[in-house]
Amino acid sequence: MPKKAKNKRGRRTKKKSWWAKLQISKKGKIFLSIGCLGILLIYGYFFYNFAVSPFTLKWKALYGNINGPEGYSIRGIDISHHQGKIDWEKLSKATINEETVDFVFIKATEGTSLLDENFNDNFYQAREYGFLRGAYHFFSPGISAKQQAEYFLKQVHLEEGDLPPVLDIETLGNLSTEEIRKAAKTWLEIVEKKYKTKPIIYTYYKFKEQHLNTPEFNKYPYWIAHYYVEKLTYKGEWKFWQYTDVGRLDGIREKVDFNIYNGSMYELKQFTIQGDKTIEE
C-alpha cells in the first residue's frame, strides 16, 4: 500500500475535502450564499404564483373583496334562473369597483327543449332598465347542432341595439375535438346567417386553447372565462373576460359572474346588432 506523503516535519498530510476547502474560502462562502438565495427566490416565486396567489384571489372574492382587472371601465354580468328573481331597480344602481353595470348577458336556451325559466322576464327588464343586453345558448354536445341553433332562433328575438348572440360551449361530452368543432361551426353559421353578424363564442381559456384553436374560429369574437388571475393570459383577440363567478351585487341574492369589455362604451355600442343587419322571417 502506498504511503501517505509527509510534510517537512515528518507529519503525514491529509487531503482536505471540498467542504473543508469551501469553509475556509471566503469566495466559497459568498458563492454558497448566493446559490442558496437564488434557490429560495425561485422556490418562492413558483410557490406564490402557483399555490398562494390563486387561492388568495379566490379567498378575497369569496369574502366580497373582488379586485376587478385594472384599466377596464365597462363592466357587466351574466345571469340565469340560478340568480333567482332580480330586483332590477337596485341592480340599475349597483356598481362593480365603483363602475356601473353596463351590460347583461342572459341565459336563453339549452339543447333543443330547455328555455331558461327566467329568460323572458330578465330579457325584457334588462332593456327597460337601460342595460345593453345579450342572450346566450348553452350548447349540449351529442344533440344536433342544427336543431339547437333553430331552437335558439325560435325562442330568442334579438333587436337593434342588442349584443350579438352567444354560443356557450364548455364541454366535449362524448364528442371528439373534431366533432365538437364541426358542431360549433354548424351552430355559428346558422345563427350568423339570421343576424348577419358573427356570434360571440363563450368558453373557458383551456377549452379554447385545446379544442377551438383552429383558424376558422379565430374570426369570431371571444368571451373568455378565466378566474382568479390578475390578468388574462389568453394571447388572442377577445371582447369580454369573465373574471370571477362569485360576485355580489345589490339586487341579486345569489353569487353572479362579473365581466369586463375590452374597449370603450362607443366601441361596445358599435358592436351591437344594427338595424339593417337582421333578416326578417
Locate 159 and state its grid cell: 333587436
Partners of 166 in beta bridges: 136, 200
* 223 vs 66: CA distance, rounded Å: 20
Category of 193 on φ-ψ map: left (φ > 0), alpha (ψ -120 to 50) or beta? alpha
User: The domain spanning residue 83 has which CATH number?
Assistant: 3.20.20.80
For residues 28 and 92, state if they share a domain.
no
Give the pLDDT score at 44: 56
Q: Do 99 and 213 belong together in one domain?
A: yes
Q: Is 99 a catalytic residue?
A: no
Q: Which of 128, 160, 170, 216 is catalytic?
A: 170
Full domain range(s) for residue 110: 69-271
Domain match, 222 and 142 both: yes
Is there a domain that residue 89 lies in? yes
DSSP H helical ranges for 70-229: 88-91, 119-128, 145-155, 177-195, 205-211
Q: Would you state the cell numbers that stand for residue 281, as one nine-digit string? A: 322571417
| Residue 10 placed within a domain | no
Q: Is residue 281 part of a domain?
A: no
Residues 30 and 126 in one domain: no
Cell (9 digits) for 174: 362524448
184 and 166 in a single domain? The answer is yes
Average pLDDT over residues 32-41: 72
Does residue 124 sit in the same domain as residue 184?
yes
The pLDDT-based confidence of 23 (bands split at 50, 70, 90) is: low
Residues 205 and 75 in one domain: yes
pLDDT of residue 281: 39
Length of the chain: 281
Is 264 a residue whose pLDDT tops 80? yes
The answer to whether position 9 is within a domain reads no
How far apart, in whole angstroms, are the C-alpha atoms of residue 156 and residue 148? 12
Cβ atoms within 10 Å of 274's Cβ, excluding its own: 13
Calculate mean pLDDT across residues 159-164.
97
User: Is 64 among the domain residues?
Assistant: no
186 in a domain, yes or no? yes
Q: Which of 34, 59, 84 is the last residue of a domain?
A: 59
| Residues 169-223: tens digit of each pLDDT | 999 999 999 999 999 999 999 999 999 999 999 999 999 999 999 999 999 999 9
Q: Check whether residue 79 and residue 120 sit in a common domain.
A: yes
Does the pLDDT at position 32 exceed 70? no
Which residues face 103 on adjacent strands?
76, 132
Per-residue pLDDT, 24: 52
- Say which residue, 77 or 5, is predicted with more confidence: 77
Q: Residue 32: inside a domain, yes or no?
A: yes
Nearest CA among 151, 237, 155 for reference residue 198: 237
| Residue 230 appears among annotated catalytic residues | no
**Judgement on whether residues 80 and 202 belong to the same structural domain of the protein:** yes
Per-residue model confidence as pLDDT tens digits over 49-65: 544 444 444 444 444 44
The answer to whether the CB of 243 falls within 8 A of the CB of 77 is: no
One domain, residues 39 and 174: no
In a domain, 1, yes or no: no
Provide DSSP, 45-102.
HHHIIIIIHHHHHHHHHHTT---PPTT---EEEEE-GGG-S--HHHHTT-EETTEEEE
